[in-house]
């Protein structure tokens, strides 16, 4: 394994999580730093609704870092949500909280803001 690979693995192992409370689902979600693979999975979805559901599935973890949800959960979120504890506003809020640590705007816009400050 290359030196960079070892450093990536070490940094990932030391990563800490953020907590997102989801009282509607009676869950505490742990959100670790986003990987490029997770970002790719989210971005590969065709609509913003599917991206929201995918973000929840790939980023929501248990306290030990294991996945909280799986592909079946994603499919059910896409096809059966819309009522009760799984309305679009609730799913949207959870997605916003999970993705709150990212700034996915165009890098040129971010650089212009930095240079302007």
CATH code: domain of residue 107: 3.30.2220
Q: Do 51 and 42 touch, CB atoms closer than 8 A? A: yes
- pLDDT score of 67: 95
In which domain, by residue range, is 57 found? 3-116
DSSP character for 68?
A: S
CB-based contacts of 94, cutoff 8 Å, min separation 6 = 20, 22, 29, 56
Please state the domain count of the chain: 1
- pLDDT score of 10: 73
- pLDDT score of 95: 93
Segments of the chain with pLDDT less than 50? none
User: Residue 101: helix, strand or coil by DSSP?
Assistant: coil
- pLDDT score of 62: 94
Query: pTM of the prediction?
Result: 0.78
Residue matched to tokens 């309305």? 87
- pLDDT score of 58: 95
- pLDDT score of 109: 56
């Amino acid at each position: 394994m290359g030196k960079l690979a070892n450093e990536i693995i070490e940094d990932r192992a030391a990563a800490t999580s953020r907590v997102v409370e989801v009282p509607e689902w009676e869950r505490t979600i742990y959100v670790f730093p986003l990987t490029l693979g997770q970002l790719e999975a989210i971005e590969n979805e065709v609509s913003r609704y599917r991206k929201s559901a995918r973000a929840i599935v790939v980023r929501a973890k248990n306290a030990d870092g294991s996945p909280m949800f799986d592909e079946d959960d994603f499919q059910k979120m896409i096809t059966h949500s819309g009522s009760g504890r799984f309305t679009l506003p609730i799913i949207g809020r959870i997605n916003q909280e999970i993705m709150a640590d990212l700034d996915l705007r165009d890098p040129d816009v971010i650089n212009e803001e930095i240079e302007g400050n």
